[in-house]
Amino acid sequence: MDITDRKNILIIEDDDSVAEGLADILAGYGYNALKSSNASDSIQKLSDNRIDLIVLDVHLGDENGYELCKKIRMDSDIPVIFLTACNSEMELIRGFQSGGDDYVTKPFRMQELLVRIQALLRRTARSGHEKKITGELELDINRCHIFKNKKSVELSTTEWRIAAVLIEHYPAAVSREELLYQVWDKDAMYVEENTLNVNISRVREKLGRYDGQQYIETVRGIGYRWSVDVK
């Protein structure tokens, strides 16, 4: 394999012996392994290098891995595998909520970590992490997330679905009935009329305006339409 085709994996681990061991084994399997022991250096390495996947220890000296993952997620969708000595359900949930893609508990078998790395890299290559740009917004379709000027916009699942459906249909308008069905699926018949209005208002408020206009416009007699060009 040509060295330019190798995947770059960033190991963020403050235990030098663990980091060295991981780097050596990953190199033996054809990966380029970069090492970092703290948050600030990790951010710098992400800026200076093309990183394909991150192996992130939860417990770092200057900052915990969950908080670092949140910072990474503000402008990057690079796959993240957490390493941790904790295997409680709450820790698992916390890891995924902070933006992690997978979770390996210490002590772990290296073969297990390698399989998880390979699976994540295949999934990333297959999905392509599709993104769309509209006004000041960037949509990460695969992660169901919206960034505004590189900052995360906190939307509920319902609010995200509303925005995603309208963007998918741009520049056409979407009827209220169709929007209800696509957002709430089989439960749409039980959703009150005002529920859609409230959620539309919340999305508008959270996304703000672009060049003086709202991202979602009301089309009288039909429903709603995404009003800003989508690329």
Looking at the whole model, is its pTM more than 0.85?
no
Q: What's residue 10's pLDDT?
A: 95
pLDDT range class, residue 74, cuts 50, 70, 90: confident
3 state DSSP class of 171: coil
The predicted-structure confidence for 97-154, as pLDDT tens digits, reads as follows: 888 888 888 777 888 888 888 888 877 665 555 688 999 999 887 667 899 988 889 8
Q: How far apart are CA 210 and CA 85, in angstroms?
A: 45
Q: How far apart are CA 164 and CA 14, in angstroms?
A: 39
Q: How far apart are CA 58 and CA 106, in angstroms?
A: 11
Q: How far apart are CA 187 and CA 196, in angstroms?
A: 13
3 state DSSP class of 197: helix
Cβ proximity of 215 and 207 under 8 Å:
yes
Q: What's residue 192's pLDDT?
A: 73
Q: Where are the domains of the chain?
A: 3-127, 131-226
Q: What's residue 125's pLDDT?
A: 66
pLDDT range class, residue 189, cuts 50, 70, 90: low
Ramachandran angles phi, psi of 166, nearest 5°: -65, -40
Cβ proximity of 11 and 23 under 8 Å:
yes
Q: How far apart are CA 108 and CA 131, in angstroms?
A: 34
Q: How far apart are CA 162 and CA 14, in angstroms?
A: 42
Ramachandran angles phi, psi of 15, nearest 5°: -95, 110
The predicted-structure confidence for 11-66, as pLDDT tens digits, reads as follows: 999 889 989 999 999 999 999 999 998 888 998 998 888 889 999 998 887 678 98
Quote the tokens at residue 8.
């770059």
3 state DSSP class of 89: helix
> 146: buried, middle or exposed (CB in 10 Å: 19+, 13-18, 0-12)?
buried
Q: What CATH homologous superfamily does 3-127 map to? A: Response regulator (3.40.50.2300)
The residue written with tokens 């005002």 in the block is 194
Averaged pLDDT score across all residues of the chain: 85
Task: State which CATH number among 3.40.1190.20, 1.10.10.10, 3.30.160.20, 2.60.40.1180 fits the domain covering 131-226.
Answer: 1.10.10.10
Cβ proximity of 86 and 64 under 8 Å:
no
Q: What's residue 11's pLDDT?
A: 95
Please check the confidence at residue 162 and state whether its pLDDT lies above 80: yes
